[in-house]
Structure 1
Amino acid sequence: MSIDHATATEAPASTQRRIQRIRHELRRRELQVLRVQRISPHFASITFGGESLADFASAGFDDHVKFMLDGPPGTEPVRRDYTPRRFSTAARELTIEFALHGHGPAAAWAAQAAPGMAATIGGPRGSMVVPTDCDWHLLAGDAAALPAIHRRLEELPAGTRAIVRLQVEAADRRALHSAAALDLQWLDSPEALLQSLQALALPAGEGFAWAGGEATLMARVRDLLLRDKGHPKEAARISAYWRAGAAGFHEDL
């Protein structure tokens, strides 16, 4: 793998210097389901195993692997992006959380997954590594962002501040713990999420803003944070994880 340091000129010097982008060798991994846990009505945590995970690497909390399924005869394989929730190269294990409220082939596969089933995963292709010791971290999004945000909160050290705004159905909300000082709000609708962010005064000091979720909502979050509040683009990442009515959509805004 190779590492590039961010070189944008508009971000604070500390942000420029410390954000890293890592490129990984792209690998296709044939795995097997080891464990399946239903963690809420609409989420399943599935742990995969296999010797091909011996050199698996995921350095960024919002990395994505490609989960691949064969499509119907004569069609292209199905590929969907998922966040590595946790992994252990020593144990040769990788855990991914699947949302089950969709009607696509990946959600259908996850809903009936059982130990022993085969799976194919590729990537991650690269990682954006944001230092954990920023003064503050803003993490926002809808249910699709839950795995990445949960992973990030577990990484953050004491002495930092985590501001979390999540639009998630009540049944799928979970305990989120972090060594960082945690300011968490659960929201019931996209408008409530936007209103909460609008009312938020961004703290002083070096901070990084991250958001993920539905494309139209994330475009509004981007404008609110970067244009209205003036947070530097190079100290933020806003990702459209899905778009209503579209399959297999993912875009950084």
Structure 2
Amino acid sequence: MEIYRAVVARVEPLTATMVRVVLTGGDLSKFASTGVGDEYVRLFFPHGPDRHDLSLPVATETSWETPEGSPTAPMRTYTIRAVRPEVNEIDIDFVLHDHGVAATWAAGTRPGDPLGFNSPTGLYDPPEDVTRQILVADQTGLPAVARLLENTPDHITTRVIVEVPDQASVQPLPAHPRAKVTWAYGGNGHGPSRLADLVTAALPEDSDLTGTYVWTAGETTALRTVRKHFRKTLSLPSSRFKVVGYWSPNADSWTERWEALPADVKAELEALWEDPKDDLEDVTIAYEDRLSGLGL
């Protein structure tokens, strides 16, 4: 694990609801990208009103820790849209809204503002025999969808479905000779997520999924239904799909409700992950079903 420091080079508006922050300098010359299209990092933000007052954690072998006596930097997870080592730049796209540490920072950031982040991790991992992929995401998944399209070989047929708040949030995606893109409107915190319906419409129960890989990202709670559809309805092996929860509605209250759970309930949930005998996707479904039953 490494912790990097960079500064904002410029800010580029993308749509009415997204902005691109281009990072440069600092430790970027040492940054090692995985090259995977949906690679993500933990961003460390200034901890107070001074935008230059950034207290970075110290890297450990597999994680990080805040030095004793230092303030804890607020942290959020974001996908890297692009890496340009030849000019020492990284692009990170932010969804703009009226609350939250990251969105507030992105809305007001200026060139020269510092930002920290850790080593990247990629999740997209199609089998070698893939001939078709289906990418479904809400607005938070747009940066990954765009980069995945850029990295997709020309012979792979690609179906892209993206849910954005409205037409003003649509943005150009990289061209691909065998890609079809559909935009849907709704969700994204402005109404109920349509991700589950979009997935089941694109992949009904009788779908022929030979050679297919499915990647889905967006609102975490909505994706619980998506995961069950892949495993229980379509009987997809875990190597044929990836479900990535990017955000949760009312995340702060969710954390408070989790912390309020009785100790024995927390222990029961955590025990599901200890030496699991089932496929990890099936364990995840059992875990998420239990969360849903608890109102989480």
Q: Does 1:188 align with 2:185?
A: yes
Contact 1:133–1:160 (Cα < 8 Å) also in 2: no
> Partner of 2:154: helix, strand, or coil?
coil
CA distance in 1, matches of 2:123, 2:194: 29
> Partner of 1:146: helix, strand, or coil?
helix
RMSD: 2.5
Larger Rg: 2
CA distance in 1, matches of 2:84, 2:179: 26
Deviation at 1:130, TM superposition (A): 2.7
Q: Does 1:153 align with 2:149?
A: yes
CA distance in 2, matches of 1:39, 1:129: 24
CA distance in 2, matches of 1:53, 1:218: 34
CA distance in 2, matches of 1:70, 1:225: 40
Higher relative contact order (CA 8 A, sep 6+): 1
The alignment of Structure 1 onto Structure 2 pairs a total of residues equal to 225
The aligned counterpart of 2:159 is 163
Contact 1:58–1:84 (Cα < 8 Å) also in 2: no
The aligned counterpart of 1:71 is 47
Q: Label 1:35 to 1:203 Cα distance change in 2 as closer, same or farther (>3 A).
A: farther
Deviation at 1:199, TM superposition (A): 2.6
Q: Does 1:130 align with 2:125?
A: yes
CA distance in 1, matches of 2:222, 2:232: 15
Q: Does 1:54 align with 2:29?
A: yes
Q: Does 1:240 align with 2:245?
A: yes
Contact 1:86–1:151 (Cα < 8 Å) also in 2: yes
Q: Label 1:155 to 1:137 Cα distance change in 2 as closer, same or farther (>3 A).
A: same
Structure 1 gap ranges (5+): 1-25
CA distance in 1, matches of 2:28, 2:118: 11
Question: What is the identity percentage for the equivalent residue pairs of Structure 1 and Structure 2?
Answer: 25
Matches within 5 A, 1:101-116: 101-116=97-112
Q: Label 1:180 to 1:225 Cα distance change in 2 as closer, same or farther (>3 A).
A: farther
Contact 1:167–1:188 (Cα < 8 Å) also in 2: yes
Q: Label 1:191 to 1:63 Cα distance change in 2 as closer, same or farther (>3 A).
A: closer
1:172 to 169, 174, 189: 169
Q: Deviations over 1:22-62 (max 9, x none)?
A: xxxx2211111111101011111111101522232132211
> Partner of 1:58: helix, strand, or coil?
coil
CA distance in 1, matches of 2:160, 2:208: 13
**Greater helix share, structure number:** 2
TM-score normalized by the length of structure 2: 0.69
Deviation at 1:180, TM superposition (A): 4.4
Q: Deviations over 1:150-198 (max 9, x none)?
A: 1101111211111111111221111223324112221123564433322
Q: Label 1:120 to 1:204 Cα distance change in 2 as closer, same or farther (>3 A).
A: closer
TM-score normalized by the length of structure 1: 0.80
**Greater strand share, structure number:** 1
The aligned counterpart of 1:222 is 227
Structure 2 gap ranges (5+): 50-69, 187-191, 255-280, 285-296
The aligned counterpart of 1:22 is none
> Partner of 1:212: helix, strand, or coil?
strand
2:200 to 198, 201, 214: 198
